[in-house]
Chain A
Amino acid sequence: MTLGPEMQSHLDDLLSDAMHSPQSRRTLMQRALAVGGAAGLAYVFPKAVFSQAATPEATPGGEAPGVHIAGGDVELADEQVIRLGMTEPKSMDPGVSTGYDELGIFFNIFDGLTGIDMATGEVVPRCADSWDVNEDATEYTFHLNPNVTWNNGDPITAADFEYSWKRVLDPDTLSLYRPAMHPIKNGLAIDSDTDPMDFNELGVTAIDDVTLQVQMEASCPYFPLLTSTWTYYPVPRAIVEEHGDAWVEAETILSNGPFKMVEWNHDQSIILEQSENYYGEKPTITRAEYTIFPDDSDQEYISFENDELDFAWPSASDLERIASDSEAMATIHQFAQSNCRFVTCDTKTAPTDNADFRRALYAAIDRDVIATTILKGTAVPALNVIPADIPGNNPEAVNPVGEEAAKAALEASGIDPATIELEYSYRVTNEIKLVAEYLEQRWPEVLGIKVKLNPIDAAAYSDYVSSRGDQPFNTKYGTWGSDFADPSNWHNQNFISASDHYYLSWKNEEYDALCAEAVSETDADARNELYRQAEVLLVHDAAYIPVYRGVASVAVKPWLVDFHVQPILAYAHLRLPKIAAH
């Protein structure tokens, strides 16, 4: 272990860079899990899952969000081999994974009941040919394609899905993603702290080989979206039971997608090859070679520049370096992420229990400076909370901003700024630190208050947050990324007082009532309207002060065509892409 003392100080920066750089999908992937008991919906994906919004206004400019490179009639290369980068997977078991870089592998080697069409973002059938749903969306019946098989040719039956879903809640599985099953009936009861139910009581039943019936805990109109995600993928029972946690190693793993994993050289590479037994349409790509980069490496984009990769995630510093190089910039594609970084305020403790004071904090932040100067274009300002690609978002749910508005709000609060020393706690990564330092300088400048920063080690931050329920704080960093294109994933999941995911003790009865009404509303327009009204209250109360949203950049070689990256779960899916002759 060579780690000279002079290197030690660089270490934190390196590590934190890795945490924040857009190079890493991890930015998009602020892993999140639900707090059990969130009303109606207790389920969160690590990063936004589905970009395609249900309503047209969700895609401003009429362009599908994400990266979409058309193919057309191009001459194809003889060798359809794609080369990509990733980081070492945490768990290659879809029932366990919280959604790290292994997702990029999952999407290509596994098939769920449903999947997402990368070009349109819509839910499409995969293992299930079709499904029926009852009127209030509390019961689903999936009809499996009788031809679906594992990569070794063995058939997949409804019982495989029943086993795999129940296995997630089996205490022995030690899944990190148990809440994924909470929308299914008894999911929450199985995870009850006080009196847990047996995991076999989960509301999923294989009626026969090709029919899977699912009872929901509550109305869940977006369930077919959920079944396209990795926690709902089937796992091969015999192999799992024989090999335990190690079943996912390349020697033993069995999956059911268009590709199969043939090599996993830890910390080095993963090789996928087309599966000869795939029941669906065969992809054009025959082989995928993933180079595994260390978590905190800047080498991925350098490899791309050296023509060693076809697709890569440049870091912020890479982007700065190539900004004036038009040839290099031509390979860069940018898209807005479906997330929001905000300042959260303690509403049980002075001075942030004062809504006018919180609005003063909201107004004082110059979001353009953060987006363009501090974060150098890797962010866009956010004045409302819900991102534009989520239906029911309300871009008009904003408070007045600027120095005048800030001073007016401070005046209205009746608080003497000279008496205030405001603490701001944050998770120490580069990006978050930069913004914290801006706030430390900006709030005093505009409001005349003092600001004290309280940096918290990345590995200790979520412990800090979850201990704030009964302990005072002033303000702290918070973030959320869409898990799927439904506003309940934001409001009901996080902000209603029954969830209070960020431990702010914020309660607005009118807001809670609107969200409760919206989540069970089956008419999409009426539902979105209710959520738009709710967002006005959410932003007006300013317990959550939206600041900015991330912008992701990917680098794509010109010969990679029919290539799509969705802004939510932004991984390279290999079903559609082709390598053009070059």
Chain B
Amino acid sequence: MLAIYTITFFLIHATPGSPWSNQDKPMPKAVTDRLNEAYGLNDPLWKQYIDYLTNVLRGDFGPSFTSRSRTVTDIIIDTFPTSLQLGIVAMVLAVIAGITLGTIGAVKHNTWIAYLSSFLAIIGISTPSYVVASLLVLFLASYLGLVPTNGWDGVASTKIIIPALALSFYPAAILARYTRSSLLDVLTTDYVRTARSKGLKDRAVIIRHALRNALLPVVTVGGVVFADIITGSFFVETISGVPGLGRYFVTSISTRDYPVVLGTVLLFGFVITLMNLIVDLIYPLLDPRITR
């Protein structure tokens, strides 16, 4: 986390421009001087580095330069739960769709169903989420009028359909590919052959024996993907008007809102670390050998 902080801190301060410079015409020097002074931006970099770090350790992520009435903590509290809820719904969709598709692809290896599932996965991986989101808005909202074009009312609203689908598309495809390749490997192993030779039904072999082992790499990937989508997506949030955290990752950089950049990056780093830990804890449940 310290490395993340250090790299981000120096990268953002090495970028030309300032939080008060994002406009056509210059601000009077008197104004920017006062702002720099008040926010400690006149201090030497090493002092800013240490000051911010000390504040973070005390739980204070600083003020937002562009949203004056809120602190970075306020922004995270406002937006992260939204991204989290949306991310969980999208992940559930992605897991169901991805593992199903991947399993079909592996079991029906070399049949048209398998090709179709691979094809869908490739489409999913290569289609950016903003294209998916735009198309969904176009069809579901504009043409069919089934859901509003944008907005957010929590998980139990039709407004979640577009962002959740758009967000789940890519992870579903990733999970499908990993499930498929991992399952293909497992299906040729001795213990699967043993299970089949015991006369177990195909379904039991795949679900009880093969899939469970095949899911190990999938869980590893899934953890990272999950960390990724619960911290919000700039494009999906922008297109479907979800007040999530994702847009702050991007806009804070273009507006040089240093505390927001640092706060969001640290949060992202924390979530990734946490997910890796959780993944490590899940391994033994899937494969008890790992604990030994």
Asked if A and B bind, the verdict is yes
B235 CB–A CB distance under 8 Å: yes
Contact present for B150 and A299 (CB under 8 Å): yes
CB-CB contacts below 8 Å: B19-75 with A: 20-31, 33-35, 38, 63, 66-70, 75
B interface footprint on A389-430 (CB within 8 Å = 1, 0 otherwise): 000000000000000000000000000000000000001000
Q: Which of B183-191, B243-251, B284-292 contacts A (4 or more CB under 8 A)?
A: B243-251
Pick from A174, A306, A459: contact of B22, CB below 8 A. Answer: A459
In the complex, what distance in Å separates the CA atom of A6 from the CA atom of B28? 39
A4 CB–B CB distance under 8 Å: yes
A460 touching B30 in the complex, CB below 8 Å, given contacts A294-B241, A299-B241, A480-B25: no
B5 CB–A CB distance under 8 Å: no
Contact present for A2 and B28 (CB under 8 Å): no
Contact present for B130 and A7 (CB under 8 Å): yes
B9 CB–A CB distance under 8 Å: no
In the complex, what distance in Å separates the CA atom of A461 from the CA atom of B68? 23
Contact present for B232 and A92 (CB under 8 Å): no
Contact present for B16 and A460 (CB under 8 Å): yes
Contact present for B16 and A88 (CB under 8 Å): no
A153 CB–B CB distance under 8 Å: no
Contact present for B28 and A35 (CB under 8 Å): yes
- CB of B227, distance to nearest CB on chain A (Å): 9
- CB of A328, distance to nearest CB on chain B (Å): 13
Contact present for A297 and B241 (CB under 8 Å): yes
In the complex, what distance in Å separates the CA atom of A297 from the CA atom of B137? 13
Size class of the A contact interface (CB-based, 8 Å): 35 or more
A532 CB–B CB distance under 8 Å: no
In the complex, what distance in Å separates the CA atom of A267 from the CA atom of B150? 12
Residues of chain B within 8 A of A4, CB atoms compared = 128, 170
A179 CB–B CB distance under 8 Å: yes
- For B237, give the chain A residue with the smallest CB separation: A294
Residues of chain B within 8 A of A245, CB atoms compared = 63, 68-69
Contact present for A303 and B149 (CB under 8 Å): yes
In the complex, what distance in Å separates the CA atom of A4 from the CA atom of B23? 28
In the complex, what distance in Å separates the CA atom of A466 from the CA atom of B29? 9
- For A457, give the chain B residue with the smallest CB separation: B17
In the complex, what distance in Å separates the CA atom of A325 from the CA atom of B28? 46
Contact present for B30 and A191 (CB under 8 Å): yes
Contact present for A176 and B129 (CB under 8 Å): no
Residues of chain A within 8 A of B236, CB atoms compared = 2
Residues of chain B within 8 A of A293, CB atoms compared = 150, 241
Contact present for A306 and B28 (CB under 8 Å): no
A547 CB–B CB distance under 8 Å: no
Contact present for A176 and B27 (CB under 8 Å): yes
Q: Which of A26-34, A105-113, A437-445, A549-557 contacts B (4 or more CB under 8 A)?
A: A26-34
Residues of chain B within 8 A of A14, CB atoms compared = 238
Contact present for B249 and A193 (CB under 8 Å): no
A302 CB–B CB distance under 8 Å: yes
Q: Which of B101-109, B140-148, B198-206 contacts A (4 or more CB under 8 A)?
A: B140-148
- For B151, give the chain A residue with the smallest CB separation: A291
- For B35, give the chain A residue with the smallest CB separation: A174
Contact present for B241 and A30 (CB under 8 Å): no
Residues of chain A within 8 A of B264, CB atoms compared = 1
In the complex, what distance in Å separates the CA atom of A488 from the CA atom of B235? 43
A462 touching B21 in the complex, CB below 8 Å, given contacts A1-B249, A2-B229: yes
- CB of B233, distance to nearest CB on chain A (Å): 4
- CB of A261, distance to nearest CB on chain B (Å): 12
Pick from B25, B141, B241: contact of A31, CB below 8 A. Answer: B25
B283 CB–A CB distance under 8 Å: no
Contact present for B137 and A302 (CB under 8 Å): yes
Residues of chain A within 8 A of B276, CB atoms compared = none
Residues of chain B within 8 A of A479, CB atoms compared = 24-25
B interface footprint on A71-106 (CB within 8 Å = 1, 0 otherwise): 000000000000000001111110010000000000
CB-CB contacts below 8 Å: B221-245 with A: 228-229, 231-241, 243-245
Pick from A1, A32, A91: contact of B232, CB below 8 A. Answer: A1
- For A266, give the chain B residue with the smallest CB separation: B78
Residues of chain A within 8 A of B245, CB atoms compared = 1
Pick from B30, B70, B149, B268: contact of A299, CB below 8 A. Answer: B149
A491 CB–B CB distance under 8 Å: no
B interface footprint on A182-198 (CB within 8 Å = 1, 0 otherwise): 00000000011100000
Residues of chain A within 8 A of B33, CB atoms compared = 193
A154 CB–B CB distance under 8 Å: no
In the complex, what distance in Å separates the CA atom of A501 from the CA atom of B255? 23
Residues of chain A within 8 A of B148, CB atoms compared = 303, 306, 308
- For B254, give the chain A residue with the smallest CB separation: A15
B interface footprint on A1-12 (CB within 8 Å = 1, 0 otherwise): 111101100110
Contact present for A458 and B22 (CB under 8 Å): yes
Pick from A11, A93, A458, A501: contact of B68, CB below 8 A. Answer: A93
A268 CB–B CB distance under 8 Å: yes
- CB of A456, distance to nearest CB on chain B (Å): 8
Residues of chain A within 8 A of B178, CB atoms compared = none
- CB of A461, distance to nearest CB on chain B (Å): 7
Pick from B21, B141, B167, B251: contact of A461, CB below 8 A. Answer: B21
Residues of chain B within 8 A of A465, CB atoms compared = 25-26
A-B contact sample (14 more), CB < 8 A, given A267-B78, A292-B241: A2-B234, A7-B130, A30-B23, A32-B23, A36-B28, A266-B67, A266-B75, A268-B151, A296-B238, A298-B239, A458-B254, A459-B254, A459-B255, A462-B27
Residues of A within 8 A of B (CB): 1-4, 6-7, 10-11, 14-15, 30-36, 44, 88-93, 96, 171, 174-176, 178-179, 191-193, 245-249, 265-268, 291-299, 302-303, 305-306, 308, 427, 457-463, 465-466, 478-480, 501
11 pairs, A vs B, C-beta closer than 8 Å: A2-B232, A30-B24, A33-B28, A89-B67, A90-B68, A193-B30, A249-B69, A303-B149, A427-B24, A460-B21, A461-B24
